[in-house]
Amino acid sequence: MFAAHLLAICALLVAGASHAAVLTEGQWAPFDVDEVTALSGGVEWIELSAGGPLSFDFTVATGYLGFVTVVDAGFAGDRFRITDGGSAVGDTSSAVQNYPNSIGLDFDAALADPGYSRGVFQFGAGSHSVTGLLIDSVTVDDIGPLNATVGAVRLSVAAVPEPSTLASLAAGLGLIALGLRRRSTRS
């Protein structure tokens, strides 16, 4: 009897455990939101098959910046609040409600369609754990907010310009401005 209870408790702990996915540069990593499936009954990003919360982990090396693109897919009209390690980073853009039309799981098409919510968030050097929360949901007539959607995140990394490069750029722009000013005084 005790062993059966222990096994049941372990199964509940595993099912409710949060899932951290490693974010790979340049690849879309999908997430789901479904208040019916979520073990919490909430609208946080989840790993659909387990129902537990989902986060995306990545590290940005010194001398680089990370940019995480977040896009809604499925039905347009959803918006997300993005957090890093529990601290708010920002919200995705507003979106046009289009229920019941759907773009499906084509995240590139959703990103190209201005009707879908999106955002690009910058991260400095260090380790990050990004997750999200649905803050606006597509509304279904006579039912209200659907509170279920799919979206994705994608990481890109770029080198931070060297200070000498920035100084050269500033000097070059200054020379161009000076040349334009001299030209305008001659005319």
Does position 87 have pLDDT exceeding 70, yes or no? yes
Q: pLDDT tens digits, residue range 108-164?
A: 999 999 999 999 999 999 999 999 999 999 999 888 999 999 999 999 999 987 666
How is the chain split into domains, by residue range? 19-178
pLDDT confidence bin for 100, thresholds 50/70/90 = confident
pTM of the model: 0.77
Does position 182 have pLDDT exceeding 70, yes or no? no
The CATH code of the domain at 19-178 is 2.60.120.380
Residue 170 confidence (pLDDT) = 66
Q: In angstroms, what CA-CA distances link 145 with 98, 107, 149, 170, 180?
A: 13, 22, 11, 50, 56
